Amino acid sequence: MNLRVIAVGGESLQQLDICQRLDCEEVQGFWLTRTLNPEDVTQLLLSNCSEFPQHFIEKIN
């Protein structure tokens, strides 16, 4: 089926380990970052802009 799976709710190292063992390549949750307000998201994206497609960067600038 070639599906991309994102695990939601990763809140501990143990949960991240389980996801890795299940070959889940994407995890979202408080273990990685707290909830961010829009300004902080923009700053995070801009500080890591080499990892994001240029058209996303252009939209937030």
| pLDDT bucket at 56, cuts 50 / 70 / 90 | low
Percent of the chain with pLDDT over 90: 0
Q: State the pLDDT at residue 47.
A: 78
Q: State the pLDDT at residue 52.
A: 57
Taken as a whole, the chain contains a residue count of: 61
Q: State the pLDDT at residue 59.
A: 58
Percent of the chain with pLDDT over 70: 77
SS3 26: strand
Of 41, 31, 34, the closest CA to residue 10 belongs to: 31
**DSSP-assigned states of every residue in the chain:** -----EEE---SHHHHHHHHHTT--EEESTTT-----HHHHHHHHHHTGGGS-HHHHHHH-
**Which run of H or E residues covers position 8?**
strand 6-8
| pLDDT bucket at 16, cuts 50 / 70 / 90 | confident
